[in-house]
Amino acid sequence: MAAYTDQSGRPVVVVTGYGVVTSLGAGREDNWAKLTAGQSGIHAITRFSTEGLKTRIAGTVDFIAVEPRVNAPELSQRLAETAAEEAIAQSGIGTVGDFPGPLFIAVAPVEIEWQQRQELAVASGAIDAVSYADLARVAETGQFNRYYERFLFGSVADRVAEKFGTKGSPVSLSTACASGATAIQLGVEAIRRGEADAALCIGTDGSVNAESLVRFSLLSALSTSNDPPQAAAKPFSKNRDGFVMAEGAGAVVLESLESAKARGAKILGVIEGCGEMADSFHRTRSSPDGKPIVGCIRNALADAGLTPDAIDYINPHGTGTPENDKMECLGVLGVFGERAKSIPMSSNKSMIGHSLSAAGAVETVFSLLTLDHQRLPPTINYLVPDPSLPFDVVPNTARDARVTHVLSNSFGFGGQNVSLVIGGEPR
């Protein structure tokens, strides 16, 4: 029988439930079937007008019933709830509305949006020049009170915590595009500290709107290969030209192995190690020497008590920006040496796009599915290999493989680097 504590004497942290929603669909099975079929969820944006924008495609989630002009926190909340419901149901933990542990949730940036500003401006009656003082004057009437809680930074976490009955103060967090992985890391740490026997960890992002698209566009981060949309995300290809914004959510139920065993729960995977290292080089670019990424991956391996040899699949950050893929490969090479070129490393983002704050959690779910099915989802749109990145990216077609330990990388603006090591079963 596996020990309840790991090589460092800490509680082993296992996954007993996971759920996911992406532009491919809602739920583990639907997503996995499409992911391993090499299907893309990227499409032309219809939720808002893209006239005048350089990028007109995204992996928006349009099949969840919400109001037509949904705002980011509203959609982020719905996506989080969808994924969490699936995860909690699978784990069978607690009772409905009474989850026996804390919530850690990665959420997209929150702020009043153009629809609200416009409504307030119209209501202000200001004709020639609208000022913020006019908007505040209208706000003070109380007629737009419904927007108040909605656009507080803590509102998504508050409502998700209420719905599922998680315990204690819900933690909303952001480490930019590494956020989803950070949510899981915080849950692992809480269980290892003995603060909790279980944690609900979610990454969610429903923030594709005109302004967020513009903001990433102005940093030249997005692919402009609008036609056909399905071919736009091209991680590791020579002609890669940026990432594709996307929406989605991933949720995992973490538990101590001891607690999971005690209630007879099925163990779906183990979060064996978490690593981090901040990069102090630049706000949007990685240190050219790759050291922070190397250090981050090594920290995760050390935390897992594993050597690089143990990793047999990498779920990379793999955004498809020229910079990310180059630096990630440099980092992987730095850790794994020549063997790096033969470790399969396929980017989910080639199909689902980059779900930003959700990505780390979504890709943890896909890593768990990879372990469960012993099958590697492909990197699609890999038609023009980049000779400077000679890796096995599982080009275009899924394949079976023996997988025991997955490395999942997440990197974000602001020098954020997080790596998780995920195993199939307790050692």
Partner 1 sequence: MAERETWITGIGIVSCLGEGPEAHWRALSEPASADTTSFAPYVMHRIVPLDFDKQIPKKGDQRQMEAWQRIGTYAAGLALDSAGVKGKPELLSHMDMIVAAGGGERDTQVDVGVLTGLPKAAKAEAFVNERLMNDLRPTLFLAQLSNLLAGNISIVHGVTGSSRTFMGEESAGVDAMRIAHARIAAGQSDLALVGSAYNAERWEVILQFSLGRTLAKGEPRSVWDRAGGGMEIGTIGAFLVLEEKAHALARGAKPFARIAVIASDHVRRTAGAVTAALERMWATIAPRLAPESAAIISGVTGVEPGTSEEKEFLRHHSGLAVRATGTHLGHGLEPQFPANIVLAAQALRTGTLFPPGDTSGMERPMDGVLSQVVVTSVGHWRGEGLALIEAVG
Q: Which of residues 173-212 bind partner 1 (CB under 8 A)?
A: 173-176, 179, 182, 186, 189, 192-195, 210-211
Taking the least distance from each CB to partner 1, the nearer of 40 and 71 is: 71
Q: Which residues contact 133 (CB under 8 A, 6 or more apart)?
A: none
> Which of 185, 203, 401 is CA-nearest to residue 311?
401
Window of 26-34, 126-134, 225-233, 365-373 that interacts with partner 1 by CB under 8 A: 126-134
Q: List the catalytic residue out of 177, 201, 296, 329.
A: 177
Q: Is 3 in the site for partner 1 (CB under 8 A)?
A: no
Which of 5, 39, 226, 284 touches partner 1 (CB under 8 A)? 284
* Strand 13-22 to 248-256 pairing: antiparallel
Q: How many residues of this chain bind partner 1 (CB under 8 A)?
A: 83
Could you confirm whether 282 is annotated as catalytic? no
φ, ψ of residue 104 to 5 degrees: the values are: -120, 120
Binding pattern for the stretch 243-262 against partner 1, x by CB under 8 A and - elsewhere: --------------------
Q: What is the largest CA-CA distance in the chain?
A: 75
Taking the least distance from each CB to partner 1, the nearer of 142 and 264 is: 142
- Near partner 1 in 29-88, by CB under 8 A: 48-54
Q: What is the Cα–Cα distance from 332 to 287, expressed in whole angstroms?
A: 14
Written as six digits, the tokens of 97 are 């509305």
Could you confirm whether 354 is annotated as catalytic? yes
- Near partner 1 in 138-177, by CB under 8 A: 139-140, 142, 144-145, 147-149, 151-154, 157-158, 161-162, 168-176
Taking the least distance from each CB to partner 1, the nearer of 139 and 398 is: 139
Could you confirm whether 373 is annotated as catalytic? no
11: β partners:
5
Window of 12-20, 26-34, 91-99, 216-224 that interacts with partner 1 by CB under 8 A: 216-224
Q: Is 216 in the site for partner 1 (CB under 8 A)?
A: yes
Taking the least distance from each CB to partner 1, the nearer of 81 and 386 is: 81
Contact indicator for 278, 296 with CB cutoff of 8 Å: no
Q: Is 13 in the site for partner 1 (CB under 8 A)?
A: no
Q: Least distance to partner 1 from the beta carbon of 111, Å? A: 4
> Which of 5, 41, 130, 53 is CA-nearest to residue 355?
41
Q: List the catalytic residue out of 201, 274, 354, 405.
A: 354
Q: What is the dihedral of CA 210, 213, 216, 218, to 10 degrees?
A: -60
- Near partner 1 in 95-114, by CB under 8 A: 107, 109-112, 114
φ, ψ of residue 412 to 5 degrees: the values are: -145, 160
Helix extents (H) in 232-321: 257-262, 291-304
Q: List the catalytic residue out of 201, 274, 317, 405.
A: 317
Window of 243-251, 306-314, 337-345, 406-414 that interacts with partner 1 by CB under 8 A: 406-414
Q: What is the Cα–Cα distance from 294 to 19, expressed in whole angstroms?
A: 30
Residue 57 backbone zone (phi > 0: left; psi -120 to 50: alpha; other: beta): beta
Contact indicator for 206, 75 with CB cutoff of 8 Å: yes
Residues with active-site annotation: 177, 317, 354
